[in-house]
């Protein structure tokens, strides 16, 4: 990246490029002076600031597009919908994907004339959608769309396509290379990776779209602040290592869970999802599984885990687990648990899980 410009930089591996990033100073300024009556690149923090610019430079290069920093994943999602949809438009959101994305449309933006179309993303997207949302390794059901096919079909019908790649990060998937118009992330998860920041990213394939999205971000005030942006830049240096490690651990835990008699079913694309395997070499930190005994058993299990923290969110250094049926609007099996593999030793994690499963 910046440190070794030009062709040499692109020949270096992702690990080397990210590890070599220099940590910038934490500039918290909210306003910058005019110079001879002219504003420079930075004028007012809500419009843009140096740490946002640095995050956008690094992520834009990783994604192969132009990235914009948002205050959280939902701000990035809302920004894309507000910028590119108009009254009467239908937004197609996958069933079994992050529930707030569909709630944003059905509970809030429906008042402004948007319609929610839910669909099974393992099949073709609805033809009447103006914006098609895809979520590979969806949260929490871990379904995986045939990206090339879905994106091509959506474009044939004149729709734009946004891919929420939170679960995979640009280390494993770069949606813009598959023809998506937007790649969206909750940077709160793996990109941040330490459960200590909340941010979002939206990257655009087309220059004219980035201008439009920037205008919405500026007017609505959706930009991420300097402090979490600084933390995110720290986190990006270790991103490839963390993504590969937690994906390997998640795969191993999914295999062991599948064999356990207290477990009814396990969702993890690494357990033989052939479509997913065509697109990615690893499948991210989340495993979801259904325990026998419904919601009561799931809640007993989450609270008897000790090493694995009973907490929401995912993608951090520490593994987390939670029963998902408690979340309002989440249409999941009652006994579903969502486990996020962190950076701990896999055998230590398994001992914790196995003990909790045996106590059911």
Binding site for ligand PLP (CB under 6 A): 72-74, 98, 135, 139, 164, 166, 186, 188, 198, 200
DSSP per residue over 57-124, as a string? HHHHHHHTSEEEEESSHHHHHHHHHHHH--TT-EEEEETTS-HHHHHIIIIIGGGGT-EEEEE-TTSP
Minimum CB separation of residue 153 from ligand PLP in Å reads 22
Minimum CB separation of residue 312 from ligand PLP in Å reads 8
Minimum CB separation of residue 184 from ligand PLP in Å reads 7
The DSSP bridge partners found for residue 38 are: 35
Nearer to ligand PLP, 135 or 322 (CB): 135
What span, in angstroms and rounded, lies between the C-alpha atoms of 51 and 225?
Answer: 8
* The two structure tokens encoding residue 255: 């295999």
Q: Which DSSP state fits 35? A: B
Minimum CB separation of residue 66 from ligand PLP in Å reads 20
Element (DSSP H or E) covering residue 239: helix 239-259
DSSP per residue over 162-229, as a string? EEE-TTTHHHH--GGGGT-SEEEEETTTTTT-SS----EEEEESSHHHHHHHHHHHHHHT-PPPHHHH
Nearer to ligand PLP, 97 or 130 (CB): 97
Asked whether the beta carbons of 216 and 83 are under 8 A apart, the reply is: yes
Residues in the chain: 360
Nearer to ligand PLP, 97 or 262 (CB): 97
Nearer to ligand PLP, 84 or 98 (CB): 98
Question: Which residue's beta carbon is nearest to the bound ligand PLP?
Answer: 73
Minimum CB separation of residue 72 from ligand PLP in Å reads 3
Minimum CB separation of residue 121 from ligand PLP in Å reads 13
Nearer to ligand PLP, 50 or 228 (CB): 228
Nearer to ligand PLP, 107 or 128 (CB): 107
Residue 223 CA, chain-centre distance (Å), reads 17
Minimum CB separation of residue 34 from ligand PLP in Å reads 35
Q: Scan for tokens 């648990």, then name that residue.
A: 337
Write a three-state SS string for 335-355.
CEEEEECCCCCHHHHHHHHHH
Nearer to ligand PLP, 63 or 164 (CB): 164
């Amino acid at each position: 990246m910046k440190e070794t410009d030009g062709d040499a930089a692109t020949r270096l591996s992702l690990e080397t490029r990210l590890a070599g990033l220099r940590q910038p100073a934490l500039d918290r300024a909210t306003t910058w002076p005019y110079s001879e009556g002219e504003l420079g690149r930075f004028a007012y923090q809500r419009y843009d600031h140096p740490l946002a610019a640095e995050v956008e430079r690094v992520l834009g290069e990783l994604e192969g597009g132009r990235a914009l920093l948002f205050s959280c994943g939902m701000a990035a999602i809302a920004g894309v919908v507000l910028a590119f949809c108009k009254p009467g438009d239908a937004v197609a959101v996958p069933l079994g994907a992050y529930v707030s994305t569909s709630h944003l449309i059905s509970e809030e933006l429906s008042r402004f004339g948007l319609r929610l179309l839910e669909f099974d993303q393992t099949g073709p997207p609805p033809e009447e959608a103006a914006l098609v949302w895809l979520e590979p390794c969806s949260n929490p059901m871990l379904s995986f769309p045939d990206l090339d096919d879905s994106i091509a079909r959506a474009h044939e019908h004149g729709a734009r396509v946004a891919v929420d790649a939170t679960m995979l990060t640009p280390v494993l998937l770069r949606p813009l290379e598959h023809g998506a118009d937007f790649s969206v992330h909750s940077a709160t998860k793996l990109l941040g990776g330490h459960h200590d920041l909340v941010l979002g990213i939206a990257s655009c394939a087309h220059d004219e779209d980035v201008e439009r999205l920037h205008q919405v971000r500026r007017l609505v005030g959706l930009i991420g602040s300097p402090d979490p942006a600084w933390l995110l830049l720290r986190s990006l240096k270790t991103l490839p290592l963390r993504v590969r490690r937690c994906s390997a651990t998640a795969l191993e835990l999914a295999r062991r869970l599948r064999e356990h008699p207290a477990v009814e079913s396990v969702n993890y694309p690494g357990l033989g999802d052939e479509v997913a395997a065509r697109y990615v070499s690893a499948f991210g930190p989340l495993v979801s599984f259904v325990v026998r005994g419904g919601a009561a058993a799931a809640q007993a299990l989450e609270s008897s885990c000790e090493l694995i923290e009973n907490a929401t969110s995912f993608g951090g250094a520490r593994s987390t687990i939670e029963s998902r049926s408690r979340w309002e609007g989440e249409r999941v099996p009652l006994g579903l648990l969502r486990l996020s593999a962190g950076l701990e030793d896999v055998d230590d994690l398994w001992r914790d899980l196995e003990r909790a499963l045996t106590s059911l």
